[in-house]
């Protein structure tokens, strides 16, 4: 006895496959964390023009602003222009694109030569973004550099 499937059975099979695949995708998506770039992304987006201007000012400093790897390769050294060492205040942020919980924020505290040493010890290996944001003499500056920690 031959058994034939009618068109109603085919439609039911397609709808069932669609429902099962939708439920499977929802379960897959629920297992993955969803991190925003920052918790206050909307407020930060409103200040985007000011950040671009601050980045242009930092770029205009040229070699006076530097981020270098220390000789022992265990520290990163941020150097501000000598004229800004007494009035500079701001933050240094270790931003981890793949894990928002790993981000770290430090106050900018430069020495008399305008340098601040940031230890690399304790940071996870991989790609980081070093974001330096400071104000000196009433003007804001911003710079970010990719840093790969082996």
> Tens digit of pLDDT for each residue in 71-99?
777 888 888 888 888 888 899 999 888 87
Radius of gyration of the chain (CA): 25
> Tens digit of pLDDT for each residue in 53-71?
999 998 888 888 888 887 7
Task: Give the C-alpha separation, 134 to 148, whole Å.
Answer: 23
pLDDT over 70 (residue 41)? yes
Q: In what order do the strands lie in the sheet with 139-149?
A: 104-107, 89-95, 126-136, 139-149
> Tens digit of pLDDT for each residue in 102-116?
888 989 988 888 888
> For 41-149, CATH number?
2.60.40
pLDDT over 80 (residue 51)? yes
């Amino acid at each position: 006895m031959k058994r034939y499937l009618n068109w109603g059975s085919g439609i039911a099979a397609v709808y069932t496959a669609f429902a099962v695949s939708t439920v499977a995708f929802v379960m897959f998506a629920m297992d993955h964390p969803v991190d925003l770039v920052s918790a206050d992304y909307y407020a930060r987006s409103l200040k985007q023009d000011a950040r671009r201007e601050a980045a242009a000012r930092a770029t205009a400093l040229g070699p006076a602003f530097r981020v270098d790897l220390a000789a022992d390769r265990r520290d990163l050294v941020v150097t501000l222009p000598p004229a800004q060492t007494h009035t500079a205040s701001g933050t240094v942020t270790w931003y981890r694109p793949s894990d928002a919980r790993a981000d770290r924020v430090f106050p900018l505290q430069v020495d008399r030569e305008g340098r601040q040493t940031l230890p690399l010890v304790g940071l996870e290996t991989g790609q980081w973004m070093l974001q330096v944001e400071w104000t000196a003499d009433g003007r804001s500056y911003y710079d970010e550099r990719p840093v790969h920690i082996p």
